[in-house]
Amino acid sequence: MEMKSRTTPSPEISNFAQRLVAYEANGDSPPGTDLPAEFRIVEKLRRPLSRLAGVNGFRMLLVRALALAKAQVSGLSPVHVKPDGSLEGFSDSGDRAQAAEAGVKLVAELLGLLTTFVGEAFTFSLVIEVWPDFPVLDTEPWRKSDHDAAR
């Protein structure tokens, strides 16, 4: 079996990440936090992914996603992953549009890596578990590849 190299998330994953960030941005922000939606998404995914892969497994996945995103956009250069898997180093002192683009890249890279390792269906079902009211369209790429047990 030939392993395909993944250099960037697919356009479908990037679009899904962008929609998820917009959805999170329109939601209620936890009291006492000024983190942007992109970082709240990573934080919300940390608990279930740490249960799945362990804290170190999640941390390594996030470190890789951050490295890939940093290679594409400069807005993440001060950001790093702490030993517990949380992000640190975000500052809102720059251009918010550039910071938002960088954050979307990070979310897209994280979702892209997840789909590479555990598949699209599992990745998106995890997203739906964390955001049960997220409006998932029937045209999402993972819905096309789901296996129907009745077939």
pLDDT tens across 1-18, in order?
A: 444 445 678 899 999 999
148 vs 48, more confident: 48
Structure pTM? 0.82
Whether pLDDT at 108 is above 90: yes
Q: Please answer whether residues 20 and 110 qualify as being in contact, where contact means their C-beta atoms are separated by less than 8 angstroms.
A: no
Element counts in the chain: helices (H) and strands (E): 5, 2
Please give the pLDDT value at position 14.
92
Q: What is the largest CA-CA distance in the chain?
A: 54
The candidate with the shortest Cα–Cα distance to 37, out of 102, 133, 123, is 102
Reported as half-sphere exposure (CB side, CA atoms, 13 A), residue 122 has a value of: 11
The CA distance from 80 to 132, in Å, is 29
Q: Please answer whether residues 71 and 64 qualify as being in contact, where contact means their C-beta atoms are separated by less than 8 angstroms.
A: no
The CA distance from 43 to 76, in Å, is 16
If phi > 0 it is left, if psi is from -120 to 50 it is alpha, else beta; for residue 147 that is beta
Task: Give the Cβ contact number of residue 105 at 10 Å.
Answer: 26
Whether pLDDT at 52 is above 90: no
Please give the pLDDT value at position 6.
55
Please give the pLDDT value at position 129.
92
Please give the pLDDT value at position 73.
87
The candidate with the shortest Cα–Cα distance to 106, out of 136, 141, 76, is 76
Whether pLDDT at 148 is above 50: no
Q: What's at 11, amino acid-wise? A: P
Give residue 113's pLDDT band: very low, low, confident or very high (50, 70, 90): very high
Q: Which segment of 14-18, 52-56, 71-75, 111-115 scores lowest on mean pLDDT?
A: 71-75
The CA distance from 27 to 90, in Å, is 20
